[in-house]
Amino acid sequence: MATQFQETENSPYPGSHLSFTDLTDRLTSLSSVPSLAAVYELVERTKIGDDEVQPYLGFKEGNYSRHRVMKNEFVEMLVLCWKPGQRTPIHDHNGSHGAVFVHEGILWETTFEYKTETGLGYQSHRELRTGGLTGSEVPDIHQLGNPDVSGRDLVTIHIYAPPLGVLKTYKLGSATIDLYTPAEPDFV
């Protein structure tokens, strides 16, 4: 797992704070795939108001909902809305890295390790709350979700570089790897 990126004196935007719109504009104007550290830096500089996220909120039963904020050939940003108990399949990003910011609620993240001989095994688990930031590099394998016991909705902001394509999915204790194409966002 990637570690949290810390601001440095050499930051391209030292001391500046971005709005959610500024973040979207910076991502839209990229001319290459940003590193995970660069994405972290942008997210850490961003102050996101509830009013800015409001247009991307929408929950559904059964599965979390995905709302696209922006997408180009280098990066994609989504707002995901989760009811208690909703979670992703165990997956990797198959060539993309990603950052996840917890806008509101509690996120459980479980990481796994894959070995050809033994298949998929548990690695670690952690909880992130409002304001938490996590990320995954290639070839990290993880599962994200809103715990049943949270009793509240979860809103997360995801930035993938390059945009997600077909993901690899896994099952605990199995060496089988399946392919999974995320559904198109519920709202674009």
Cα dihedral sign for 74, 17, 127, 57? negative
How many angstroms separate the CA atoms of 175 and 86, rounded? 25
The pLDDT of 172-177, averaged and rounded, is: 94
Measuring CA to CA, which residue among 46, 9, 8 is closest to residue 25? Answer: 46
- What is residue 14's predicted lDDT score, i.e. its pLDDT? 52
CB 104, CB 154: distance < 8 Å: yes
Residue 176: what residue type?
Answer: T
How many angstroms separate the CA atoms of 22 and 69, rounded? 12
Q: What is the mean pLDDT of the chain?
A: 91
Encode pLDDT of 127-168 as tens digits.
Answer: 999 999 999 999 999 999 999 999 999 999 999 999 999 999
Encode pLDDT of 91-121 as tens digits.
Answer: 999 999 999 999 999 999 999 999 999 999 9
